[in-house]
Structure 1
Amino acid sequence: MTSTHSIPAGLVAEEPPPTGNALFAVMGDCLELSICMLDGRARPEQLRRLEREAARWAREGIPMVTVLRLVHDGFRLGIELTGAAIEPAADHLRAVDTDLVLGLLNTVTATVARAYAPQLHTVTHRHAVRQALAAALVDGRPTSTLARQNGIEIAREYWILALLLPPAPAAIGTEPRRRAEGALPRLRVALAECFAGAALPVLSPDGGTILLPTAVADDDSLDALVNELSCAAEVPVTAAVMRSVTDDIPAGVDRAHELLDLVHRLGLVGGLHRFADLALEYQLTRPGPALDVLSSLLAPLDNQPDLLTTLKHHFANDLSRKRTARMLHLHPNTVDYRLHRIAQLTGLDAGRPEGLWYLRSALIARSHQTNPPAPSRRRRVAPKPPAHE
């Protein structure tokens, strides 16, 4: 996953993300080493060099699984080249001793893993630091000591992204369940790659909160960011955004998750949602007698699920009878009949401005009251900050 977002100097104490040149260097080094080892020319210093290079690759952020895949690709190419030189007419794999190949792969894999082990500890520590720092900001607790000890500069202003991930399907072993269960790790990796540690997340399998300095992303880029996160997570990510100065983050997080809850209750799935886009819906769903009255306007349809479904799709299709009919596999005249029945039962005519306004408002109020709340809410109990190293 790539991004063009720039990070101001000194914002985070992180290594830059890996580049294409770094990945090609991995492949080249492994190819050279494999040919030398297969020819019997490998020396201990070559493995020590591989270990040093692997440690550098780890610091540059190249995932170990990527390095191991390139190691195997390099060996495969080395086998083909060596086999072709030894016996061009024979199968390349048979021209090379299988035990030798397996032994070399085992040696190189162990070398790479040994080099990555200390770096994995460092990466884990950085992740824990960012999560602890984010949790402290979300809860309004002091952050100066933790930030100073770990070389992280607290921004003056943040985008607050409240995130919702879809629940995993009940069926075990299915592809949709696999994608859902792996969504959170993939989301964390994508977020780290996109902003090189500038984003501060507090995430769970349901979703969570991401604090993103406004200096690294403008408002216009946030929609693309959520789309990128959805692609990386392989599930639709639904998000609500608020902008807040650092001191007001706790209140801003509450507002962002309140907006996300409204989005969820209204049945809006995926994408980024802003307060300005849902100001009317937000106001209509504030607790009070008006909310109860509006919701009760559709009570006559409680035993008429087809009528309620038709009304929802009619509004979702911008009051187009033809589109509503196509979506419900009905004749347009049937849609007209159902709208007429709704008017008879509720006293609200969708063909008149006043009736249209009240029906839409009642549908919003009813959705908010009857649909379950979003499972993702910010957590007041923060993770314990890691020990400084």
Structure 2
Amino acid sequence: MPPPVPAVSPRLRSRLRTLARTQPRAVERTYDTLLSLEGYSVLSAAARKDIFSSITFSAGLWFQCLLDGAPPGPDVMDQIAAFARRRVHQNVPLRSLLRAFRLGARELWRTCTELAEAEPALAHELLFDISPYLLDYFDAMAEHIAEAYLDEQHQQARWRGSLLQQLYDLVFHAPDDAARFRETVEALGLDATLPRIALAVDLDLRDHAPSVREDALDRFALGAARHFDSKPDALVRVWHRERLVFWLPCVRGDSMTRNDQRVAEQAAALARAEPRVRSIGIGLMNEGAHGWAASVEEALKAVDFAPRGSGADDDSESGSEAGNMVRVHRFSSIAIEESVRSSANVLRYLVSLAEQLATEADLLATLETWFASGQRRRQTAQALGVHPNTLDYRLERIETLLGAKLDNAHWIARLDIALKLRGATQGSERDARKKEKGRVAAKKAKRAAR
């Protein structure tokens, strides 16, 4: 609560009553100054009007307390707290709000000093009675405002967390409920019609205990928002299938290709800056609950089916951090393979091509190296360490076994996809075996502990 109000002499009371009626100058000076503060400078016209009204009310309240000889009552203090709560929803930082209060106090004291200069007989009372009260009054008000602000911020965080959980449930478990999806997205202050791209980030959090992992994810999300030129609240995230998933807002009007390229470049910069990032998968631009879910699946596939231990290709961004290769994988680079996977017969046919070559030593490695070398024979022979004639024999043997023509674009395309599918399948199988070994080892350790 504000401190006790000092008694005011009749002469000063008369001057304060006049100032209370003519205090718009102090209000306008305060208003003009705080519009340069963080949070205030980007407010809407309606919010600025609310700010001006709040300053006017606060200045009038101080004069009224001096004239009445009593601090503000509970109803008035509730009204002051309501100002603070509104600033939370207007995205005004607390430090800016408190700075605004200090500016207001300074302007009111400036008004008092101008009065003292005009009437020196009042200087002693203004300096020794009114000045300490003004400082104590605004300290008490700042404390009251900070408490209300932080309480509202806490309530908002809980409310936002509840809405986000509802959003995740809709995307992953009830994507057909378009109306609730739109309502939930809009309740979060987001545009439900804006397309988004999902990112699946494989993070190394082994040295973070579960109790502090959420804080680590919050800090990472703030850094990610800077790299993606996005406000933190616009970067919707969830921990899903052992990956940190982001839904990034796209640039409205840009094509899928341009958004895909832009996000890939930003993701590569994020991966280089954050040593905990092992890999990042990027889905395709989409919208609506079904679209958000589909983009997540694509981003996860881009990570899971990425080639193991290979260098960056034309559709990947790479960087080196302390000697560790970090890769960004786009679903767009494996879209054709994924289309093939949806057809069981086509998939079996392409896989069989690679399996047929695997029956003879060196043929599969030769074809993989030939593709990796850009289908250039001299570079392929050098990479394999064989004579060009040996390479020619192997390539002819491949054509004979498969009935293929390695100078035919259609055969080149299908063999390239067949090798990629085989590599992805082998990588998934290795991962599955590794996880299974880990589960078995954990069970043995648990039995041994008993």
* Residue 282 of structure 2 is aligned to residue 240 of structure 1: yes
* Residue 272 of structure 2 is aligned to residue 231 of structure 1: yes
Higher relative contact order (CA 8 A, sep 6+): 1
Residue identity opposite 1:211 in structure 2? W
Q: 1:259 to 1:224 in 2, by over 3 A?
A: closer
* Residue 168 of structure 2 is aligned to residue 132 of structure 1: no
Q: 1:211 to 1:371 in 2, by over 3 A?
A: same
* Residue 385 of structure 2 is aligned to residue 330 of structure 1: yes
Any conservation in 2 of the 1:202–1:209 contact (CA below 8 Å)?
A: yes
CA distance in 2, matches of 1:272, 1:137: 27
* Residue 267 of structure 2 is aligned to residue 267 of structure 1: no
Residue identity opposite 1:294 in structure 2? L
CA distance in 2, matches of 1:273, 1:233: 19
* SS in structure 2 at match of 1:313: helix
Which residue, out of 282, 286, 291, partners 2:338? 282
Q: Which residue of 1 aligns with 2:194?
A: 157
Normalised to the residue count of structure 2, the TM-score between the two structures is 0.45
Residue identity opposite 1:273 in structure 2? R
CA distance in 1, matches of 2:331, 2:43: 26
Q: How many percent of aligned residue pairs carry the same amino acid? A: 21
Deviation string, structure 1 residues 8-61 (Cα, Å, up to 9, x no partner): 979x9584899xxx9xx9xxxxxxxxxxxxxxxxxxx9xxx9xx89x99xxxxx
Residue identity opposite 1:288 in structure 2? A
Instruction: Output the aligned Cα RMSD.
Output: 5.1
Normalised to the residue count of structure 1, the TM-score between the two structures is 0.51
* Residue 277 of structure 2 is aligned to residue 221 of structure 1: no
Structure 2 unaligned runs (5+)? 1-41, 47-87, 100-134, 208-213, 309-315, 317-326, 432-450
Q: Which residue of 2 aligns with 1:254?
A: 294
Residue identity opposite 1:202 in structure 2? V
Q: Which residue of 1 aligns with 2:371?
A: 315
Any conservation in 2 of the 1:160–1:244 contact (CA below 8 Å)?
A: yes
Q: 1:200 to 1:271 in 2, by over 3 A?
A: same
Deviation string, structure 1 residues 261-305 (Cα, Å, up to 9, x no partner): 266425277325254x54433333322212212211222333456
* SS in structure 2 at match of 1:160: strand
Displacement of 1:190: 1.8
CA distance in 2, matches of 1:339, 1:182: 55
CA distance in 2, matches of 1:133, 1:215: 25
Q: Which residue of 2 aligns with 1:69?
A: none
CA distance in 2, matches of 1:339, 1:135: 51
CA distance in 2, matches of 1:16, 1:212: 24
* SS in structure 1 at match of 2:284: strand
How is 1:1-389 mapped onto 2 (pairs within 5 angstroms)?
13=89, 15=91, 125=158, 128-129=161-162, 131-132=164-165, 134-138=167-171, 139-140=174-175, 142-143=180-181, 152-165=189-202, 187-193=220-226, 194-204=230-240, 206-214=242-250, 219=259, 221-234=262-275, 235-246=277-288, 249-254=289-294, 256-258=296-298, 260-261=300-301, 264-265=304-305, 267=307, 270-271=327-328, 273=330, 275=332, 277-304=333-360, 306-325=362-381, 328=383, 330-331=385-386, 333=388, 335-353=391-409, 355-367=411-423, 369-372=425-428
Q: 1:366 to 1:272 in 2, by over 3 A?
A: closer
Any conservation in 2 of the 1:284–1:365 contact (CA below 8 Å)?
A: no
Residue identity opposite 1:265 in structure 2? F
Any conservation in 2 of the 1:158–1:214 contact (CA below 8 Å)?
A: yes
Any conservation in 2 of the 1:284–1:291 contact (CA below 8 Å)?
A: yes
CA distance in 1, matches of 2:364, 2:385: 15
Residue identity opposite 2:194 in structure 1? E
* SS in structure 2 at match of 1:294: helix
Displacement of 1:133: 5.1
* SS in structure 2 at match of 1:242: coil
CA distance in 1, matches of 2:200, 2:280: 6
Residue identity opposite 2:385 in structure 1? L
CA distance in 2, matches of 1:217, 1:202: 26
Any conservation in 2 of the 1:183–1:233 contact (CA below 8 Å)?
A: no
CA distance in 2, matches of 1:265, 1:258: 10
* SS in structure 1 at match of 2:233: coil
* Greater Cα radius of gyration, structure 1 or 2: 2
Any conservation in 2 of the 1:239–1:260 contact (CA below 8 Å)?
A: yes
CA distance in 2, matches of 1:317, 1:293: 25
Q: 1:120 to 1:205 in 2, by over 3 A?
A: farther
* SS in structure 2 at match of 1:211: strand
Deviation string, structure 1 residues 115-170 (Cα, Å, up to 9, x no partner): xx98996796487357425414524352567667x7523431221314141778xx
* SS in structure 1 at match of 2:195: strand
Q: Which moved more, 1:125-134 or 1:186-195?
A: 125-134
Structure 1 unaligned runs (5+)? 1-6, 26-44, 57-116, 174-180, 376-389
* SS in structure 2 at match of 1:363: helix
Any conservation in 2 of the 1:14–1:197 contact (CA below 8 Å)?
A: no
* SS in structure 1 at match of 2:285: strand
CA distance in 1, matches of 2:154, 2:369: 52
